[in-house]
Structure 1
Amino acid sequence: MNQKQILVLALFSLSFVSCSEKSKTGNSKSFTILPVEKAIAQSKAAEVNSMFENVVFIPLETSEKALMGEVLKIVAHNGFYYLYDDAGNLLRFDSQGSFVNRIGAIGKGPEEYGIIADFAIDKKNDFVIVNSLGKLVYYTTDGQFVKTLKSETNEQVMDVDDTGRIFYILPDNAQPASVTSAEAVKVVAPDGTSLKTFTTTKIRHSGLSFFNSISQKEGTMYYKEEMGDVIYSINAKLEKDSVYGFDLGKYAFQEEDFDMSAMEKWKNLYRLDKILIGKKYTCFNLQNGLIGKEICPLFWDGKELVFPYAEKDPSKKGLFINEIRITPMAESNDELVCLAALVDILKNKKSVGIKYKNLKNVNEASNPVLCFLK
């Protein structure tokens, strides 16, 4: 991540999800403590072929109208894939990697968006919603403007449930010492009316703020507070329950670690970035450190946690296929939609080209490559 990106993140006080609180109780009958600390300490080579039945690489179309930078988010919907990057592009591709259309346009007009804080898809109404810090801009899936709604500038990271309701996970903004509780999640109706808020169990009183994360699967939302170690669910009736205890142990960020002076310590710490729920596995993306996007997936099959590393190099934490780093980004129909590291493809092009022939034409100027794991 360059300095410009770091300044933008700090300016808008966005916050990734982390954990440190040692709560070991839950309200749900199915509450499970996930021994993340143990899984990290006992990481092992990923046996991708035994974990997934099929591996497919799909290079995205590279053309002047479809050029993309660093991909920040992917959403799968109705066989299409929506990607937005660090340059503010929001594009739609089909399952073969062909460019379909751009969503909206960057600008200051009423039908345009500026900085994209986040985006989500209202699957009930087939709308793409762009959160542009102070307003929500609705588009059809083919990119046509629908409407604009006002929002608060701190209502940034979001997802949308099956009824069109918007769920925001609000940033932990280093509250004053006198504050003991703050909003963690805000639920908003499709017309912008506030419906319900959920408060934190523990908040920070100092340090930097980064992104938080909220995920949904079949209408149920899942989130984790900035300083908590419990993953919560919110169902269609807006009832909150605890699902997992997320025990990062010595690998968890503490309050004092949210400071630039602790950068050296960051390389040994992890925080929860995203939850992707499939039928066979739940994938928890762990971010290593605070700056950058060094993502290491953690897989849970209901019995065992697996924190993988590259088969030929145990120092490389993460999911690798033929020495290519694979970063899970979305889940669709029990299939993980991942980004494949272009630099690794180019480095191993000769060996991977034998098995994955569609990677032969990938070069330094190519668009990102998707990898589908089923």
Structure 2
Amino acid sequence: MNKIYISFIFSASLLLAACGGKKSGEEALSETVFDPGYPVTISFVKGIETEQEVLLSEIAEKVKIVPLETKPECLVAKVSQGMIQMVDHNLFIPCSEGLLQFTDDGKFVRSVVKRGQGPGEYSIIRFIAANDRLKQIYIMDNGRILTYTVDGNYAGESKMPFCWQFTLLGDSTYVGYFYNNTGQKKDRLVLVNRQGETLKTFPQYDQFTIANGLNYYLWGRYDRYVYSFKEEACCKEYYNDTVFTVTSEQLQPRYILDLGKYKIPKERRFELLEGNWQAYSEPAQAYLRPDFHETSQWVFLPYTSWDVTNKDESPRLALYDKKKRTCYKVKNNRIKNDMQGSLPFYPETRIADDVLLYYLEASEVLELAEEDPSILEYEQLKNLKEDDNPVLMIVYLK
């Protein structure tokens, strides 16, 4: 499910995920030039007042329920689900064992890269990205990006500033994202070419002071602050209502997510309350924190409150229809599966342009089956055991 993690870090020298600031859509527009079709305002605050049932067949052309093969050489643990990528029929899953490659039928292919100090080896996987057209996968290590083909061949590396996340802009430019973990970071985004040369930086707009010098931050396992869609690079921050298209020269407002009364005020942010959970948690229940998964026809908006440790709170779901320009809450917070199997669908992350993923531990599937035994009647799930590898629900959109 859409769990959120909390960390208390006592060294400003570490690279941390920080909660950036927020600038209104109006302020953003006054500073940037944008394409004639943009920005599009999504009225989230009004949209979630209307509930609508969504059937999987209304949005999907194909769905796969895929238990990942369980073998000693491919046991999946501590997965960074927001990083999972797909190239053709290959899934790339970063976890504690490295970067594992599976087919979209769940068969284990290979461990793409091994830990080490040699050429093509990594010390830590900070983030991954993919290029479906070039059939390449990219790993961000400390200060560099390693490139591999879908066949598992090492194709070289590029220098990269020490970023938290990155994505691709076209075939030859990386877009790196900096968290403002100290409140005083200079840059927000950096563009770097394959030769490791910095092409452009975009300044950080949110400055603040943490009086006691400690860094506090919240992040979710599905958080993605930069993403690529149809070879465009985009930036979405959780405290900023504007989603930007990143070009080689400027940030162009793409969407304005109107949160209205659900937008958390700057003075209520966790880091500005210096980690005082008692002062933060109860007021945070009133504010909402949506993810943003853009596809050709829809924008999927999984969301929770900012009270991120509330175990009784289930993730919720809103949907924006690009053609009708309407936003609404999805009934029961799940998309009803009327195609294959009985598992309801929750779009936790996007793994390719029009491919969404629901990631479930085997134990979660078995728990759902206690309420609906028909789930285990699906052929691929009949022999599922609690200690098996996770089950993926892959939805290919229309």
The alignment's TM-score, normalised by the length of structure 2, stands at 0.77
Q: Alpha carbons of 1:331 and 1:140: their partners in 2 closer, same or farther (altered >3 Å)? A: closer
| Structure 2 residue corresponding to 1:78, chosen from 57, 71, 88 | 88
Shift of 1:284: 3.5
- Are the equivalent residues in 2 in contact too, given 1:159–1:166 (CA < 8 A)? yes
| Residues 1:141 and 2:150 are matched in the alignment | yes
Instruction: Report if aligned partners of 2:348, 2:356 keep a CA contact under 8 Å in 1.
Output: yes
- Candidates 349, 352, 359, aligned match of 2:381: 359
What residue number does 1:314 align with? none
Q: Does 1:300 align with 2:320?
A: yes
**1:240, distance to aligned residue in structure 2 (A):** 2.8
Task: Identify the residue that residue 114 of structure 2 maps to in structure 1.
Answer: 105
Q: How far does residue 318 in structure 1 lie from its aligned partner after superposition?
A: 5.3
Conserved? CA contact 2:159–2:195, under 8 Å: no
Please say if residues 295 and 318 of structure 1, whose CA atoms lie closer than 8 Å, have aligned partners that are also in contact: no
Equivalent residue for 2:306, pick from 289, 293, 297: 289
Q: Please point out which of 348, 365, 368 is paired with 1:345.
A: 365
| Mapped pair 1:326 → 2:383 | no
How big is the shift at 1:216?
Answer: 0.9
Q: Answer yes or no: is 1:253 the counterpart of 2:264.
A: yes
Report the secondary structure of 2:296's partner residue.
coil
Three-state SS of the structure 2 residue aligned to 1:307 is strand
Whole-Å separation in 1 of the counterparts to 2:330 and 2:61: 17
Tell me how far apart the structure 1 counterparts of residues 66 and 157 of structure 2 sit (CA, whole Å).
34
Cα displacement (A) at 1:269:
3.2
Deviates more, 1:182-191 or 1:325-334: 325-334
Return the letter of the residue paired with 2:36.
Answer: K
> 1:245 offset after TM fit, Å?
1.0
Which residue of structure 2 aligns with residue 161 of structure 1?
Answer: 169
Identify which range, 128-137 or 58-67, moves more after superposition: 128-137
Which whole-Å CA distance do the structure 1 matches of 2:43 and 2:209 have between them? Answer: 27
Native 8 Å contact 1:296 1:327 kept in 2? no
SS in 2 for 1:362: coil
The answer as to 2:287 corresponding to 1:269 is yes
Deviations 1:75-97 (A, max 9, x none): 11122111112x25211111211
Residue 224 of structure 1 aligns with an amino acid whose one-letter code is K
Say if 1:252 and 1:269, in contact at 8 Å, map to a contact too: yes
**Displacement of 1:233:** 0.6
Query: More deviation in 21-30 or 65-74?
Result: 21-30
Structure with bigger RCO (C-alpha 8 Å, 6+ apart): 2
Pairwise CA RMSD: 3.4
Aligned partners of 1:67 and 1:367 also within 8 Å: yes
2:127 and 2:165 in contact (8 A); partners too? yes
CA distance in 1, matches of 2:363, 2:108: 22
Which amino acid in structure 2 is aligned with residue 334 of structure 1?
D
The 2-side partners of 1:63 and 1:346 are apart by 20
TM-fit CA distance, 1:29 = 3.0
Secondary structure of the 2:129 match is strand
**Cα offset for 1:123?**
4.5
2:356 to 326, 336, 359: 336
SS in 2 for 1:347: helix
Match of 2:36 among 29, 41, 62: 29
Q: How many Å separate the matches in 2 of 1:366 and 1:231?
A: 38
Query: What CA distance in whole angstroms lies between the structure 1 residues aligned with 2:261 and 2:361?
Result: 29
Measured against aligned partners, the alpha-carbon deviations of 1:96-133 in whole angstroms (never above 9, x if no partner) come to 11111112112455542233211112445543221123
Return the alpha-carbon distance in structure 2 between the equivalents of residues 342 and 325 of structure 1: 15
Q: Can you list the C-alpha shifts for 1:11-69, whole angstroms capped at 9, x where unaligned? A: 43124677574637744433222111223344555443434344331111111111112
Q: Which runs of 4+ in 1 moved over 6 A?
A: none
- Report the counterpart of residue 13 of structure 1 in structure 2: 16
Report the secondary structure of 1:103's partner residue. Answer: strand
Cα separation, 1, equivalents of 2:217 and 2:257? 20
SS in 2 for 1:337: strand
